[in-house]
Amino acid sequence: MRKLMYIFLISFIAFTASSQNIIQRPKIVVGIVVDQMRWDYLYRYYNRYLEDGGFKRLLNQGFSCENTLIPYTPTITACGHTSIYTGSIPAIDGITGNEWWDYSLSQLVYCTGDDNTKTIGSNTDAGQMSPQNLLVTTIGDELKLATNFRSKVIGIALKDRAAILPAGHSANGAYWYDDKTGDWITSSYYMNDLPKWLKDLNAKKMVDQYFSQDWNTLYPLNTYVQSAPDEEPYEYSPFGSKSFPYNLKQFVGKNYGLLPVTPYGTSFTFEMAKAAINGEQLGADSITDILTISLSTPDYVGHSFGPNSVEAEDDFLRLDKDLGDFLKFLDKQIGKGDYLVFLSADHGVAHVPAFLKEHKIPAGSVGGEKITDEINKLLKDKFNISKLAIGIMNYQVYLNRVAINAAHLNKDTVYKYVIDYLLQQPGISRAFPLEALNGITLNNKIRTAMENGYYPPRSGDIQLILQPQWIEGFETKGTTHGVWNPYDAHIPLVWYGWNIHTGKTNREVYMTDIAATIAAMLHIQMPSGSVGHVIEEATNK
């Protein structure tokens, strides 16, 4: 008997010692990226967030990097989602905008467009997408490489680019919303048929159920003291009426493109995430999985109504509730402490210029299409050649290099005419050739942001820097983002769950540090284009 007990004791000690040497990882990493969330939204509505909601739980039980910045321009969706999961910058990863003029192809390119694929899940062309334009690996790619492709990686977002680019090249699936059908779809790049769990979700026609609820404020309208009056002339009216409550029943069975402009877009995204976790058995074993979730609705609401609107406030109050419910789902499905969550954003947003002017803050809008037309007229008068300017995208002027070379024009002379014109326009602070960036006198932070965003085959020829509070487009209503200023580049970053300290840091960190930190926590290689650093104070080790 003693011999048996001795053998058991030795075996137990050996097992305990060996288990301590096993690399510890969470069951699942869940990235939640809120599309168009300024850092200050964590606190602007803090007193109204639910005690058992998402934001207070993350802030009070997690670790917040209070001074997280985007280190490049343009600060827009495709670039942001790519940088978070690659730790890279447009100058390296090649994603220089949502779209760009590709000089090697001499055509306009959408960041995730791929004509060699077909839609899976509907009869539209909304699924002709892939990550083919992404030049580097993601943290999901690296996890799959590290586990010999036993890990599962899934990307989910209403926007195709926000599902595809975070998930990476080797993802098991990326799913996005088809606004023509109201269903979740994917691309033949990933699979030849939707999984049964997703077909079952689509069969519920949840969009019609959401529309049938209409959209009224979560609380009495007079309590929304953090917002401007409900009806403002500089807000769009996507639902017909100009103020709450919004009649959405009129869109049942049609106009599915309006769902993302309502808080129900966030609710639907979380329902999709839950279905994916259950259907794919994510986090169900000892092999770590990754789920990337992008909440696209705040971007649609913010562009349409502005960040100081009742609509934006109500959207975030409802997002907080949905986020809290999702964390409770993870507690039950995966196990509290067994999952790692981070919440961040792809960019912030500027206030609506008309709103700022009401309060005597200088602001304005620069019309990109109008300026392009005037540049082309100017160059036609000078050189007798039409359409030498392709357009303004990503705060850069794209010139027709082929036409300039064919006409044997002096490139610097063309640049000078364009720049002289641009510098006379209201709201434009600087204009200079991107290839001469290092010879321009600029604040170092701004120069670095421009350098980090510059990938010559996909970037423009002349960089624009707008005056603070000025935006491009949205001349009379709505607002946008894309520049280096803090309102666009200061984003939240909160860590929660497995191996995370409770606390915060005001140390300046960057969007590019997220992937490096996850890689260190998982003991895997950083993505191939990563330039980030590990945020060591966030972890327990």
Handedness of CA 137, 143, 144, 146 (dihedral sign): positive
Query: Residue 27 in contact with residue 288, Cβ under 8 Å?
Result: yes
- Whether residue 15 is predicted with pLDDT greater than 50 in this model: the reply is no
Residues 460-482 pLDDT 10s: 999 999 999 999 999 899 999 99
Percent of the chain exceeding pLDDT 90 equals 93
Q: Which of 8-17, 45-54, 101-110, 150-159 has the lowest average pLDDT? A: 8-17
Work out the average pLDDT over 329-335: 98
Asked if pLDDT for residue 13 goes beyond 50, the answer is no
CA distance 96 to 454: 7
Work out the average pLDDT over 10-32.
70
pLDDT band at 541 (very low <50, low <70, confident <90, very high): low
How far apart (Å, rounded) are the C-alpha atoms in residues 107 and 77? 21
Q: For the chain, where do the domains classified as CATH 3.30.1360.150 start and end?
A: 364-468
Q: pLDDT digits over 152-195, tens only?
A: 999 999 999 999 999 999 999 999 999 999 999 999 999 999 99
What CA–CA distance (Å, rounded) separates 430 from 426? 11
pLDDT at 64 over 70: yes
- Do 56 and 502 form a contact (C-beta atoms < 8 A)? no
Q: Using CA atoms, how far apart are residues 97 and 111, in angstroms rounded to an integer? A: 7
Q: Are 153 and 167 in contact (CB under 8 A)?
A: yes
Query: At 488, is the pLDDT very low, low, confident or very high (cuts 50, 70, 90)?
Result: very high
Q: Does the annotation mark 372 as catalytic?
A: no
d(CA 71, CA 513) in angstroms, rounded, equals 10
Of 171, 175, 174, the closest CA to residue 149 belongs to: 171
Per-residue pLDDT at 94 exceeds 50: yes
**Which one, of 213, 230, 208, 212, lies nearest residue 221 by Cα?**
230
How far does CA 225 lie from the centroid of its chain? 28
- On the question of pLDDT at 19 being above 90, the answer is no
For 304, phi then psi, to 5°, come to -75, -40
Q: List alpha helices for 458-498, DSSP H.
A: 486-489
Q: pLDDT value at position 327? A: 98
Question: Which residue of the set 73, 75, 77, 186 is catalytic?
Answer: 77
The arithmetic mean of pLDDT across residues 352-366, rounded, is 96
What residue ranges of the chain are covered by domains with CATH 3.40.720.10?
Answer: 28-357+486-538
* Beta bridge pairs of residue 176: 185
CATH of 364-468, one of 3.90.180.10, 3.40.50.720, 3.40.600.10, 3.30.1360.150: 3.30.1360.150
Mean pLDDT of 136-141: 98
CATH class of the region 28-357+486-538: alpha beta
> DSSP 3-state helix, strand, coil percentages of the chain (rounded to 5)?
40, 20, 40
Strand partners, 294: 33, 157
CA 226 – CA 224 distance, rounded (Å):
6
Cα separation, 108 vs 437, in Å, equals 24
SS3 string, 262-310, reads: CCHHHHHHHHHHHHHHHHHCCCCCCCCEEEEEEECHHHHHHHHHCCCCH
- Give the burial string for 71-88 (b: 16+ CB within 10 Å, else e): bbbbbbbbbbbbbbbbbb
Average pLDDT of the chain is: 95
Give mean pLDDT, residues 78-92.
98
pLDDT computed for residue 24 by the predictor: 93
Q: What pLDDT shows up at residue 2?
A: 52
pLDDT band at 368 (very low <50, low <70, confident <90, very high): confident
Q: Are 396 and 463 in contact (CB under 8 A)?
A: yes
Handedness of CA 431, 433, 438, 444 (dihedral sign): positive
Tokens describing residue 493: 């970053």
Give the strand pairing for 28-34 and 289-295. Answer: parallel
Residue type present at position 328? K
- State residue 20's pLDDT score: 54
User: What pLDDT is attached to residue 3?
Assistant: 52
Look at residue 4 and tell me whether its pLDDT is greater than 90: no
The count of residues in the chain is 541
Sheet architecture: strand order including 396-399: 389-393, 396-399, 462-466, 428-433
Structure tokens at 70: 């985007």
HSE-up (13 A, CA, CB side) for residue 249: 5
Cα(82)–Cα(163) distance, rounded to whole angstroms? 10
pLDDT at 475: 85
Q: Tell me: pLDDT of 16 over 60.
A: no
On the question of pLDDT at 149 being above 60, the answer is: yes
Look up tokens 């509070």; give the residue: 469
Residues of the chain with pLDDT > 70, as a percent, come to: 96
